[in-house]
Amino acid sequence: MLTARKSRITGAALLGGLLAVLAFAGCAPKKTIAGDWSGPLEVLNPMTSSKATLHLVFHIAQEDNGNYNATLDVAEQKAAGIKLDSVTVKDSDVNMALNIGPAHATFAGKIDANYSKITGQWSQASLSIPLELTKDPEKTGNAGTVVEPGKK
């Protein structure tokens, strides 16, 4: 009789422990690229033939349907809230595209396992420039004010 009681207690403790582990696993934060991402883009100034740094800030938000949207700020160009045309994420691949008139720019990168860094290439016209974006841990994914391309 003592053995059967001990077995039931051990089984109950095991089941309780398993349920606690499953409940905790369900509480783990879901990985997302939503948030503010920034990085320096080193470009060649065509007027002076010297290097210039543009500080890019992407404000990425996740919509209720799971898709992403984003805006771009470039302080050196006094540009803020430029709406990106597309943001796609598949596994660790992140792709963003921006079309303003005849200008077309893309960013293709890979996100690290911690979702804290995206390393890739910024492409515009015939240029392809390395760009590393880091996530601002203070931002939660608000895409900010959206400005349509060509509008202020």
Which residues lie below 8 Å from residue 42, measured CB to CB, with a gap of 6+?
51, 52, 53, 129
Residue 116, helix vs strand vs coil? coil
Per-residue pLDDT of 24-59, as tens digits, reads: 444 555 788 999 999 999 998 778 889 999 999 999
Q: Which pLDDT score, from 0 to 100, does residue 89 have?
A: 95
- Residue 69 tokens read as 């949207």
Distance of CA 80 to the CA centre of its chain: 18
Residues 25 and 81 in one domain: no
Tell me: do 17 and 61 sit in the same domain.
no
Structure-model confidence comparison of residues 137 and 22, the more confident one: 137
Task: Report, in this order, helix, strand and coil percent for the chain, each rounded to 5.
Answer: 20, 50, 35
Q: Is residue 122 part of a domain?
A: yes
- 74 and 56 in one domain? yes
**Residue 112 belongs to some domain of the structure:** yes
Given this model, what pLDDT does residue 64 score?
94
Go through the chain and tell me how many residues it has: 152
The confidence band for 141, taking pLDDT boundaries of 50, 70 and 90, is: very low
- The verdict on 26 and 39 lying in the same domain is no
**Looking at the structure, do residues 44 and 9 belong to the same domain, yes or no?**
no
> Are 39 and 26 part of one and the same domain?
no
Same domain? 80 vs 6: no
Domain presence at residue 142: no
In-domain check, residue 146:
no
pTM of the model: 0.72
Same domain, 58 and 112: yes
Residue 10 belongs to a domain = yes
Instruction: Give the residue-averaged pLDDT of 50-74.
Output: 95
pLDDT at residue 3 above 50? Answer: yes
pLDDT of residue 20: 45
**The domain containing residue 11 runs over which residues?**
1-30
48 lies in the same domain as 65: yes
> pLDDT value at position 15?
45
Q: What is the pLDDT of residue 149?
A: 41
Our count of domains for the chain comes to 2
Burial of 95 (0-12, 13-18, 19+ CB in 10 A): middle
Question: Is residue 107 in some structural domain?
Answer: yes
Q: What is the CB-side half-sphere exposure of residue 8 using CA atoms within 13 A?
A: 4
Q: Do residues 1 and 39 both lie within one domain?
A: no
Distances (CA, A) of 99 to 21, 22, 56, 70, 143: 47, 45, 16, 13, 18
Give mean pLDDT, residues 85-99.
96
CATH number, residue 95: 2.40.128.120
Residue 78 has phi, psi (to 5 degrees) of 55, 40
DSSP 3-71: HHHHHHHHHHHHHHHHHHHHHHHHTSPPP---EEEEEEEEEE-TTTS-EEEEEEEEEEEE-TTS-EEEE
State pLDDT tens for residues 106-127.
999 999 999 999 999 999 988 8
Say if 149 falls within a structural domain. no
Q: How confident is the model at residue 138 (pLDDT cuts 50, 70, 90)?
A: confident
